[in-house]
Structure 1
Amino acid sequence: MPTHELVICPATAGDLDVVGDIYAHYVTSSVATFDENPPEASDWQRKLDDLNARHLPFLIARAGDEIVGFAYAAPWRVKPAYRYSVEDTIYLAPDRTGRGTGRALLDALLRQCAASGVRQVIAVIADTGSDASVTLHRSVGFREVGRLTGVGHKHGRWIDTVLMQLDLTDQS
């Protein structure tokens, strides 16, 4: 389905089972996330409730009746002085990569972050050997600001993370 047929909208409680299924794929079969066990449905509901209370976006992408990806912005750190900085998260159904879905989600996420008063968006990207996430973030203006070496261990390997940042106050 072409990208123009995507609908990006806020996630609801009824979407969370599919969100959980998409994420579980990456938990069990990749190092894209450092989670080792898929979150329970109640964990996803708590996340949705928390982000809604903070006026931060949790979005899904629909192609027809199918949820094909999700994205959200969560607090970067819990200390109050970090309240204008968030970390973005984007995951796509495995058969939706390379089709513009990630870009559509990220664009919508950044617009909603800016509208919510967010100033800085940080991406913490596992260095999996694929440049897809780094390339996606760079395409909307993120810049690489650091690398953490060997900070994750999953599926028998040590994994670096790439830190990228976007200053929403510089967006025109």
Structure 2
Amino acid sequence: MSQINELLDGPSMNRALTRIAHEIIERNKGIDECILVGIKTRGAYLAKRLAERIEKIEGKPVRTGELDITLYRDDLSKKQDEPLVREVDIDYNVKEQKVVLVDDVLYTGRTVRAALDAIVDLGRPKQIQLAVLIDRGHRELPIRADYVGKNIPTSGAERIVVNLVEVDGQDLVTIHKAE
């Protein structure tokens, strides 16, 4: 894989997340009924960052949680033979709440579909919204993001790589193409 282009650096990523935080507050008329749920791994860190921004804007904390969708994937056999079982870390009842799922890259929609199944297993939310840092297109399911940091049209041969300080030591989004 060779790097083609840098899409977002740290400051650009911060601006995109700040904009998404404002959009979440505006659309939901505050955050009282909202729970931000990050899809592990990078989506969980992005959800925490959004929560920090929202708390600074609103002056009160927003509820957060993490979701591991490993067992809900419909392509599990392609990923690994033995699924890893991890706990869902959502300390709040999702019933009648607005759940904002957060992920790093929206591609085929299969990860989001799995996350929807996992959330509904916890209860019936009032609404489920989706926030993503990057939307790269190529949907296989009728899923769209409500909040997008950046739309990046890609080809099937390209790959988006999201690096976060918490995991990778730097904030950077790049696009790669197979050689």
In the superposition, the TM-score normalised over structure 1's length comes to: 0.30
**Higher RCO, Cα 8 Å, sep 6+:** 2
In the superposition, the TM-score normalised over structure 2's length comes to: 0.29
